[in-house]
Structure formats: C-alpha cells, structure tokens
Structure 1
C-alpha cells in the first residue's frame, strides 16, 4: 500500500474517531441512572425511560469498542502493518478497507 493510500486511511480513521468522540457526551448523559418520581410518572413512562437507558448503554459499549478498533488500526498504520490480513498476511482489498477501515482480515479469512 502506498504512503498516499495509508494517509487517506489515517484521515478516514481520525474523522470517524472524531465523530465518535463528539457524540460521547450525549451517550454518557443518556446512559446514566434513570431517576423518576414514582408518584408522578406512570409505569409505561418508567419502562420507556429504562429502555432508552439500555439502548444508550449499548450504544456506548459499541462506540467504545469502535474507538479501540480505530486506535489499533492507526497503530498498525504507524507500524507499517495496516492492510495486511492477520490470518494469512495477504493484503486486504482496499475496497474492503474503504467500507471498514478497521478491518483485520481479508475476505477469504473473514469467512
């Protein structure tokens, strides 16, 4: 992979990371503890709030996982290992990396 291609993927990864970090504050707020007054809020409202909290927590976990994958991909770029399949060490198709720049395996090994 050329240095120009590597820089393109680095910028893509940095952009995705920035997007995830910019929305992390909202995720943290919505995944916090649900405080509802039992007297003034109905059962369905409490259930809705708890469901929203659960969804926000799951989103937070997914975002944290994605951030770890992005950091690992940037580290692979720095170590000249980016774009190589971890299983067979063959190059990963750049089109596949455009779809998922954190991809670790070629299409054959991913199956």
Structure 2
C-alpha cells in the first residue's frame, strides 16, 4: 500500500474518470474534422482542399493523443482497482502525491522519470 489514503485514492479516481469523460467528449466533438476531404475541385478550390487536409491531419494527431491519454487513464484506473496505484513501475518506490496531482496517470516517480 502506498502512503496515499483511501480518500486520496478516491480523489485521484474521480479526477481520472472526469478527465476520461472530458477526453471522450472532445474526441466525439472533433469527429467532423477527421472526415475524408472532398477531392472534387469543382466544389472546393485547391488551396481550400489543402487547408482542409492539413486540418484533418491535425485533427487525426489530436485524436491519437486523446486515445493515448485515455489508454493511460484506463491503465491508472486498473492500477487503482488492483491496489497498485501510486507505486513507481520502474523502481517500486511510492510516487509523490504532488506528482500524481499534476499527472494522475504517472507511472514513475520523479527520479525514474528523469
């Protein structure tokens, strides 16, 4: 067991669940930007199409980042369920509560992360 109390663990669980919901909502809201770009030059000019393709690429990159963060959140929630949350996966030492407050998905203590 880490030096985190049950209350702190519940706090981090709520924070992770809220962050997951936020990211899922953002992902759903950005779906329009990830749609294929129309290639018909009669309806969209070449520069407008290039701009749309660039926006689509940026939206795809953001979607990948959100999915990666959601996977990290799911892993942190599993660690909470297994009683392993708050322990460094590299050295086995406790992760400081301040570090978890900044990044509740953290898997390493400051020393191992640097």
After TM superposition, the score normalised by the length of structure 1 is: 0.95
Q: CA deviation at 1:36?
A: 4.3
CA distance in 2: counterparts of 1:66 and 1:98, whole angstroms: 16
Aligned mate of 1:18, from 10, 18, 21: 21
Question: After TM superposition, which residue ranges in structure 1, 4 or more long, deviate above 6 angstroms?
Answer: none
CA distance in 2: counterparts of 1:48 and 1:26, whole angstroms: 20
- Matching of residue 63 in structure 1 with residue 47 in structure 2: no
1:24-50 Cα distance to aligned partner (Å, 9 max, x none): 222222112111430242221111000
CA distance in 2: counterparts of 1:41 and 1:90, whole angstroms: 57
CA distance in 2: counterparts of 1:32 and 1:26, whole angstroms: 12
CA distance in 1: counterparts of 2:70 and 2:43, whole angstroms: 40
CA distance in 1: counterparts of 2:68 and 2:59, whole angstroms: 14
- Structure 1, unaligned stretches of length 5 or more? none
1:50-81 Cα distance to aligned partner (Å, 9 max, x none): 00000000011111111110000001001110
Q: CA deviation at 1:102?
A: 0.4
- Structure 2, unaligned stretches of length 5 or more? none
Query: Number of matched residues?
Result: 111
RMSD: 1.0
